[in-house]
Amino acid sequence: MASPSLIIEELQKQPNWFARKMRDLPVVPIAILSIILFAAIFAPLISPHDPEFMTLADRNAKPFWYDNSTGKFPLGADALGRDILSRIIYGTRISLLVSFVAIVTGVVIGGTLGMIAGYLGSHIDEFIMRLCDISLAIPYILIALVAVIIFGQSIPVLLAILAFSTWSAFARQIRGETLVLKELDYVALAKVAGASQFRILVRHIFPGVVNTIIVIATLRVGAVIMFEAILSYLGAGIPPPTPSWGSMVSDGRDYLPTAWWIAFFPGLAIFLTVTALNFLGDWLRDKLDPRLRQSV
């Protein structure tokens, strides 16, 4: 066994100090997410224009760095003369609302079912796991499109579909965790002490799966934001004129050759947000729950 100082020296010599540093605290992702949270809360104060105000005179106005730009719109304006920066800022609200509701519902449904399946086992486990399989096989994008035709574009319907698409990820992982936890001695002791099944699940199993829930929730937020963006892009998401990043990209689709900024900046916002969330999720996983590392 080498002395501690030797080990430290050895570590410092290794070329991956950059990787180790990054693993320590993901500063950039946290900064990006803080900015998004800030933007969502203070949207009316910081956005330079009304996100839904249209002036056709300003249609496809150029971003500020173009020579012939008026400078009125920092990131340009869309085909209806609406300020893109303001719309992106207001768009954070939709993304946060959607991901918050979908994740919380997903955790509650998926977590409960996962714990029940893992703890009770046998037929109930089988049944819940088959439900998970079915949920994985359902093409949610198409279901969402059908729902829009029938119920019209509405935020509650969208939230319900997003929640349904996300619970199975939680159920699966938490079932796996519960299978391990229920074999541990302290659970057996609780059983001997006469604790009810409900009490064992809530007081003894649940604290053990909290870390897993946090990690999966962080990783799933990105997926939910992406899913909402895809639906909005296809015209099945947030009803207009409420700004949503996905529908903003879709607005810019026809103006790609002449006004690339309409589609570019909202997409960049999605990309940065999801990257930051994935990064944070990976970091949390390594810190809180290294066993999960093998899963995507």
Partner 1 sequence: MLLFVIRRALYTIFSLIAATAIVFFLSRAQGDPRNVLITGYFSQEIWEAWGESMGLDKPLIVQYLIWLKNACLGDFGTSINAARPARDLIMDRIPATLQLAGVSWILSFVIGIPLGVLSAVRRASFWDYFARIFALIGQALPPFWLGLMLILIFSVQFDLFPAGTRGGPLHYVLPCITLAWTAASGNVRLMRSAMLEVLDSEFVKLARAKGAGNSRVIWKHAARNALIAPLTYSGLILAAFMAGTVVTETVFAWPGIGRLAVDSVMQTDFPVMTGVVLMLTAIYLVVAFAIDICYALIDPRIRIS
Cβ proximity to partner 1, 42 vs 271, nearer residue: 271
- Count of chain residues binding partner 1 (CB under 8 A): 50
Quick check: 249 binds partner 1 (CB under 8 A)?
Answer: yes
Quick check: 192 binds partner 1 (CB under 8 A)?
Answer: no
Among 35, 40, 195, 230, binds partner 1 (CB under 8 A): 230
Cβ proximity to partner 1, 30 vs 145, nearer residue: 145
Instruction: Give exposure, 19-58, as e/b (b: 16+ Cβ within 10 Å).
Output: eeeeeeebeebeebbeebeebbeebeeebebebeeeeeeb
Among 116, 209, 229, 238, binds partner 1 (CB under 8 A): 229
Quick check: 31 binds partner 1 (CB under 8 A)?
Answer: no
Instruction: Give exposure, 238-261, as e/b (b: 16+ Cβ within 10 Å).
Output: beeebbbbbbbbbbbeebeeebeb
Cβ atoms of residues 173 and 292 within 8 Å: yes
Give the closest residue to 265 by CA, choosing from 27, 67, 32, 74: 74
Task: Give the per-residue contact string, 126-155, with partner 1 (x = CB under 8 A; - = no).
Answer: ----x--xx-xxxxxxxx-xxxxxx-----
Cβ atoms of residues 169 and 216 within 8 Å: yes
Quick check: 246 binds partner 1 (CB under 8 A)?
Answer: yes
Query: Rounded to an integer, what distance in angstroms lies between the CA atom of residue 261 and that of residue 264?
Result: 5
> Minimum distance from CB of 230 to partner 1 (Å)?
6
> Minimum distance from CB of 279 to partner 1 (Å)?
7
Where does this chain touch partner 1 (CB under 8 A) — which range of 42-50, 94-102, 186-194, 270-278?
Answer: 270-278
User: Where do contacts with partner 1 occur on this chain (CB under 8 A)?
Assistant: 14-16, 18-19, 130, 133-134, 136-143, 145-150, 222, 226, 229-230, 233-235, 246, 249-250, 252-253, 256-257, 260, 263-264, 267, 270-272, 274-275, 278-279, 293-294, 296
